[in-house]
Amino acid sequence: MLRPLIVSDVYFPRVNGVSTSIRSFREDLARQGVASTLVAPDHGAHSRQAVEPDVLRVPSRPVPFDPEDRIMRWSALRATLAGVPRERCDLVHIQTPFLAHYAGLKLARERGVPVVATCHTYFEDYLNHYMPLLPGFAGAWLARSVMTRQLNAVDAVVSPSEPVRKRLLEYGVTRPIHVIPTGMTEDRFVPGSPQRFRELFGFSPEQRIVLNVGRVAHEKNLGFLLRMFQLVARRDAHAVLVIAGEGPARGALQAQAEKLGIGTRTRFIGNLDRERTLNDCYAAADAFVFASRTETQGLVLLEAMAQSRPVVSTACLGTRSVLTSGSGACVVEESEDDFAAAVCSVLKDPGQARQMGEKARAWALQWSSASLAARIADLYRALQASGATCDRLPPRAAMPAATEGGHDGEARAGSGRFKVRAGISGKAAGGAIPPG
């Protein structure tokens, strides 16, 4: 049995795409006979409320400027990793570029095992928000330099989308890069209850919910969505903007909503329980909106599509692989007028919204988490078989062909459950997903 050791600076109860990706892949890998161990920050009592098998928690403290996130104690992290038995560490998979990266890389070198890193985050734009005193060109150079140096130190890189892979090549990453997006688990397709969500949060049947789900942070471009919704609110008296999630920008965005005169038409509802409430939230939306500039994939877009929601979005970096012509989404430029017009068109035309939603669900069904986890497992096995270590790069030919583009597999709808059949290959949407 293959036993990878996964190391991350981020995991539940911290809610974001990285946490979701790690849990999704671990669950599907376990079903395929790959038993992983995860090392992640301890969040105190919140961590102990939902104990998962083979998750080792490391003592940590809040990040000063972002208390949602945690910094693991270096000595405790190193001690935890050193305590993992060798038989539970066939290779190391690094998920984040902070302390987890350096500790994971150090452990892999000490034990002579392969190491792979997933590029979840595009830090060039993040630095503009979190280091505002740093000149733009300096921040861009710093982000690119650090990311390139980190990724060139590992044996293989996983990119969630083809546009991100191309960007990493432009940066100067020379290690093999494999496009393996995070897949959709079966529970995301279980139909949610719009009525239950509206009753829970006090929305009337007449209100038209314009929904955004994700981290409430400036890099998600939520200020643009507020300005856009100001135009929607003028044209549609029943429209309300709902922002689900938490983050450091919530206070500033609430103040911006008041300044724009849409404070009473904008609801910040916080984080939602993924098992009990999130599907209901998506299902209650009359339109799902998204405008982030920093996504490496944009998993919430697929989650909305899985609930047959019409999507209006910009397409930047990783989201381009999701928002193709077959997705049913309305893709617009970053213009408040154009975006608002598209949202209003969806809100006033139920027939158009229904057609977009049906096409979106069919598209989301192609992103099977089981088939994508199989690609991760193939990569693990190829690295292990090649005898790679941090100091020796396996030849590109040693990697399975499926990890370089499409994947052998097909996902079909059937009462919200996946049926995967091997033997179909091809390349679709920039090499990001299985063929439809």
Q: Could you tell me if residue 411 is inside a domain?
A: no
Helix (H/G/I), strand (E/B), else coil: 428: strand
Same domain for 354 and 209: yes
373: tokens are 């986890």
Confidence label for 409 from pLDDT (cuts 50, 70 and 90): very low
Residue 433 lies in a domain: no
**CA-closest candidate to residue 168, choices 185, 155, 150:** 150
Please give the full DSSP string across 259-279, using - where no structure is assigned: HTT-GGGEEEEE---TTTTHH
Give Cβ neighbours of residue 159 (< 8 Å, ≥ 6 apart). Answer: 118, 119, 165, 168, 177, 178, 179, 180, 296
3-class DSSP state of 242: strand
Crossing angle of helices 123-130/136-151, nearest 10°? 140
53 and 131 housed in the same domain: yes
Residue 418 lies in a domain: no
Q: What is the domain-level CATH number for residue 172? A: 3.40.50.2000
Please give the mean pLDDT across all residues of the chain: 87
User: What average pLDDT does the segment 70-90 reach?
Assistant: 98
pLDDT category of residue 65 using cuts at 50, 70 and 90: confident
Residue 436 has pLDDT above 70, yes or no: no
Instruction: Tell me: do 55 and 37 sit in the same domain.
Output: yes
Looking at the fold, whether 282 and 313 belong to one and the same domain comes out as yes
User: Rounded to two decimals, what is the model's pTM?
Assistant: 0.80
**Are 288 and 222 contained in the same domain?**
yes
Consecutive H or E run containing 369: helix 369-386
Both ends of the chain: CA-CA distance in Å?
32
Last residue of a domain, one of 316, 332, 364: 364
Judgement on whether residues 181 and 212 belong to the same structural domain of the protein: no
Structure tokens at 379: 């990569």
Q: 260 and 247, same structural domain?
A: yes
pLDDT at 141: 85
Average pLDDT over residues 15-44: 95
Residue 273: pLDDT band by 50, 70, 90 thresholds? very high
Of the two residues 224 and 418, the one the predictor is more confident about is 224
Residue tagged 């849409």 (tokens): 262
Cβ neighbours of residue 285 under 8 Å, at least 6 residues apart?
A: 209, 210, 211, 242, 304, 307, 309
Measure the CA–CA gap between 389 and 108, rounded to whole angstroms: 7
Looking at the structure, do residues 81 and 219 belong to the same domain, yes or no?
A: no
Measured over the CA atoms of residue 377, residue 380, residue 384 and residue 386, the dihedral's sign is positive
Count of C-beta atoms within a 10 Å radius of residue 268: 18
pLDDT of 366 above 60: yes
Same structural domain, 271 and 375: no
DSSP secondary structure letters along 283-351: HH-SEEEE--S--SS-HHHHHHHHTT--EEE---TTHHHHSSTTS--EE--S-HHHHHHHHHHHHH-HH
Last residue of a domain, one of 309, 341, 364: 364
Tokens of 226: 């507020």
**Residue predicted with more confidence, 389 or 333:** 333
C-beta of residue 43 within 8 angstroms of C-beta of residue 32: no
Q: How confident is the model at residue 52 (pLDDT cuts 50, 70, 90)?
A: confident
Q: Looking at the structure, do residues 161 and 212 belong to the same domain, yes or no?
A: no
The verdict on residue 412 lying in a domain is: no
What pLDDT does residue 389 have? 66
How many degrees, rounded to 5, is the angle at CA 191 between CA 307 and CA 423?
70
Q: Is 435 among the domain residues?
A: no
Mean pLDDT of 168-181: 96
Helix (H) or strand (E) holding 198: helix 194-201
* Separation CA 357–CA 432 (nearest Å): 21
Q: Show the domain range for 300.
A: 187-364
Q: Which pLDDT band, with edges at 50, 70 and 90, does 134 fall under? A: low
Q: Would residue 346 count as lying in a domain? A: yes
Domain boundary among 307, 332, 364: 364
Instruction: Give the model's pLDDT for residue 119.
Output: 96
Count Cα atoms within 13 angstroms, Cβ side, for 85.
5
- Asked whether residue 410 is domain-assigned, the answer is no
Same domain assignment for residues 206 and 327: yes
240 and 196 share one domain: yes
82 found inside a domain? yes
Judging by beta carbons within 10 Å of its beta carbon (0-12, 13-18, 19+), is residue 142 exposed, middle or buried?
A: middle
How far apart are the C-alpha atoms of 165 and 93, rounded to whole Å? 18
Res 394 pLDDT > 60: no
What was the pLDDT predicted at 330?
98
Q: How far apart are CA 379 and CA 398, in angstroms?
A: 10
Query: How many domains does one find in the chain?
Result: 2
Q: Once rounded to an integer, what is the mean pLDDT over residues 267-276? A: 96
- pLDDT confidence band for 317 (50 / 70 / 90): confident
